[in-house]
Amino acid sequence: MKEIHVSQITETVARLCQDATRNLPEDVVAALRRAESTEESPLARQVLLEILDNAELARQEMLPLCQDTGTAVVFAEVGQDVHIVGGDFVNAVNAGVAKGYTEGYLRKSMVDKPFSTRTNTQDNTPAVVHTEIVPGDRLKLAVMPKGGGCENMSRFVMLLPGAGKEVITSFVLRAVDESGGNPCPPIIVGVGIGGTAEYSMTLAKKALTRRVGDPNPDPETAQFEAELLEKVNALGLGPQAVGGRNTALAVHIETYPTHITALPVAVNLQCHSARFKSAEL
């Protein structure tokens, strides 16, 4: 049994919050460069160049890529042979978020009492924590600071079980088309298909943790991803919806078996500032 002290968890989460909000992952930068090199619209290219300049400047000056430093969505894979000592796991994660956002001069956007006073919690806690128990003695932590602009464009539907690809395609296209420039295209489109209502949305979020453009390991799903990406880009929205060929950098689909009566489909969009960093303890 491997022991991990909560202080290590707090320190790691704090570091990941700051790293993620300032340093765009290299796979995202590469995807943006590809988009810029293929874009036909001069105005859309100008937008992509400003996005790439911003990433470079944020890295050099240690500035947040975006003023919306998001909800801290934390993914934890806890090895079943790990023993967490010295305190409570979720408290340790939240202490890391508070430290990272306060010491890193990041924006605190979380409000309590969401339907009434909407009082700012002052340190961007609590995080939204997804925990999975996995084999082994490692603890993997990943932080996705998720902006409000793209999260607000999320969609979910329970389709008829036989609806199939055509209806799913239209649902995804409508979600992207109607969201326009709000989620800050070029976006990554996360799609969760199957499971139950809440699980399909988790799948859609998890789909956004994949390296940009890596296909789903299942060939049929990967094929569907490629078809959807082509169609999303045929919508013509382009970067920031000014019109162009690059509306999305990728479509990622995650699936799970579902009930005989059901076909849950969830869409979670990620902005071009697709911030995500992970570490293993």
Largest interatomic CA distance in the chain: 58
Sequence-ordered list of residues with C-beta below 8 angstroms from that of 71, at least 6 positions apart, any chain: 109, 110, 124, 127, 128, 145, 146, 148, 151
Number of residues that bind other proteins (CB under 8 A): 60
Q: Peptide bond preceding 186: is omega within 30 degrees of 0, i.e. cis?
A: yes
Q: Are 270 and 150 in contact (CB under 8 A)?
A: yes
Our CB check for other proteins shows the closer of 78 and 193 to be 193
Distance of closest approach, residue 239 Cβ to other proteins, in angstroms: 8
Q: How far is the CB of 73 from other proteins (least distance, A)?
A: 17
Residue with tokens 């990433």: 55
Figure out which of the listed residues 38, 80, 120, 223 binds other proteins, where binding follows CB under 8 A.
Answer: 120
Residue 82 DSSP SS3? strand
Q: 191, 193, 162, 161: which is closest to 252 by C-alpha?
A: 191
Identity of the residue, 184 or 204, whose beta carbon is nearer to other proteins in the bound complex: 184
Out of 240, 249, 254, 281, point to the residue binding other proteins (CB under 8 A): 240
Say if residues 211 and 27 touch (Cβ distance below 8 Å): yes
Q: If binding is defined by CB under 8 A, does position 68 make contact with other proteins?
A: yes
Residues in 99-118 that interact with other proteins by CB under 8 A:
105-109
- 161 is a contact residue toward other proteins (CB under 8 A): no
Question: Peptide bond before 126: cis, by omega within 30 degrees of 0?
Answer: yes
Decide: 92 and 12 in contact? Cβ < 8 Å.
Answer: no
Q: Is 159 in the site for other proteins (CB under 8 A)?
A: no
Dist. CA 67–CA 276, nearest whole Å: 16
In angstroms, what is the minimal distance from the CB of 46 to other proteins? Answer: 5
Q: Does 158 help bind other proteins (rule: CB under 8 A)?
A: no
Distance CA 124, CA 102 (A): 8
With contacts defined by CB under 8 A, name the span among 141-149, 201-209, 210-218, 254-262 that binds other proteins.
141-149
Residue 247 CB, shortest distance to other proteins, in Å, is 9
Q: Which stretch binds other proteins (CB under 8 A): 10-18, 189-197, 242-250, 253-261?
A: 242-250
Beta strands in the chain (DSSP E): 2-5, 71-79, 82-85, 111-112, 119-120, 128-134, 139-146, 155-159, 187-195, 248-258, 263-270, 277-280
Cβ distance 273 to 29 under 8 Å?
no
Nearer to other proteins, 69 or 255 (CB): 69
Between residue 162 and residue 221, which ones bind other proteins under the rule CB under 8 A?
A: 166-167, 169-170, 173-174, 177, 180-182, 184
According to the binding rule CB under 8 A, does residue 25 interact with other proteins? no
23 binds other proteins (CB under 8 A): no
Is 243 one of the binding residues for other proteins (CB under 8 A)?
Answer: yes
Binding positions for other proteins, rule: CB under 8 A: 40-43, 45-47, 49-51, 53-54, 57-58, 61, 63-69, 105-109, 120, 147-149, 152, 166-167, 169-170, 173-174, 177, 180-182, 184, 230-231, 234-245, 271-273
